[in-house]
Every structure is written in structure tokens, then in C-alpha cells.
Chain A
Amino acid sequence: QVQLVQSGAEVKKPGASVKVSCKASGYTFINYGINWVRQAPGQGLEWVASATPGTSDAVYDQRFRDRVTVTSDTSMTTIFMEINSLTSEDTAIYYCARLSQSGQEAFDVWGQGTRVTVSS
């Protein structure tokens, strides 16, 4: 079945970097965009970035543009999100989500989430 499986929880110190992975299966990896969405504790959803697997094409929310990089490895059908210069405000659950069929602009499949905790 179609699924996205994310890497495990991370604990990082302020100023460090973190790289979260999202492995896709059950569909043709390069045919669907992948987005990253985060949710701080007790808060709502925030869109972070949108990427096209198999290319270097990615778009970032302006709040994250300088610190977030999304890459992919088609041989592993995996997409990665790296966040640099972490602060306590980056403490959140990070979700990858598949963009549904071309033109529908909705996120139809979600990963289980990766909890990132930033603490000294």
C-alpha cells in the first residue's frame, strides 16, 4: 500500500543540525511531490517546503528559506529535510506529506511524523 515512513525521533542542542528522512513506497516515487509540514507542541500545522523528488527543485516558506534544505535519493525512494542552526522554536513534529495528483493541491498521504526536540 502507499505509505511514507519517517525516521525516528531526534534530540539536538541549539545551533546543531538535524536531517529527517521520509521513505516512500507503494507508488512511483518521482511522480508525486513531497511536502514538509511541522507542528509545534500544542500548536497548528505549518507548511515548511515543497519538493519534486528526483530533482533539485524545492520551494520553501520564507521563514525557513535560509535554514532548510530538501533533497532526495531516487534509488532509496527517500526524501530528506535538513534544518540548520536549530533553536528551541524548532521543537516540533515534522511530517512529510505527498502532494496528490497533479492540480489537486492537497496532501493525500502523510508520514507518521518525526519528533525533533531542541534543548540544551
Chain B
Amino acid sequence: QSALTQTASVSGSLGQSISISCTGTADDVGKYNFVSWYQQHPGKAPRLIIQEVIWRPPGVPTRFTGSKSGNTASLTISGLQAEDEADYFCCTYAGNRNYVFGTGTKVSIL
């Protein structure tokens, strides 16, 4: 399985909205509604922020929203906050209990 493709970096100003894309294939992202997103601050473990494409776990701010169209999933951060500066990884279920992560996107605040 090849890694899902993400834009290497995205930047935005405080309060701005940004989107991160995650492109797979018809055999993974396109086939299953099991895309999840993880936020990782430097030196920390990843944190689940979106599961099953669109659902936020308890405690995750509502400014994080997920979506999917065809073989591409997206994460949107509406109203960028300073604490949102981090790396973001998508992940998809790929069948037979296998999973594939994205290449990661570094979000920076201008």
C-alpha cells in the first residue's frame, strides 16, 4: 500500500480557514468511509480529531471538519487558532484490517 498524498505544508493567519487534502485510490479512500485525521504537536503522540470522514470525537473543537469526495478526503480548520499549528495526518482503512497513513501536512500560522 502506498502512502496517501497530502500537501506538505499549509499556512494561514489567525482566524483564517484552511483546508488540507488527502488523496488515495479507489481501493482505499474511495472505497471506505473510514478516513480519520490526527493532529501531532512536536514531540507528542498523535491525537484523533476526525473519524469516519466527518465525526469529531468528544472534546475536539467544532472548527475542525472533515469531508470526502471520491478518492480525496479533506480536513478544514475554520478560524485558525495558534494551538492549531501542528502536523496533520490522514489515515484510511484499506481492507483486511490494514491501514494507510498520509504523508502529513505541516500547518503554520503566519
Q: Which residues of A contact B (CB under 8 A)?
A: 35, 37, 44-47, 50, 59, 61-62, 95, 97, 100, 104-108, 110-113
Contact = CB atoms under 8 A, between A and B. Distances in A.
A50 B89 CA distance: 19
Interface of B: 1, 3, 32, 34, 36, 38, 45-48, 51-52, 57, 89, 91, 93, 96-104
B7 to A, nearest CB: 13
A46 to B, nearest CB: 6
B38 A105 contact: no
A117 B83 CA distance: 30
Chain A binding site: helix, strand, loop or mixed by DSSP?
strand
Contacts of A105: 32, 34, 36, 51-52, 93, 99
B97 A50 contact: yes
A47 B47 CA distance: 15
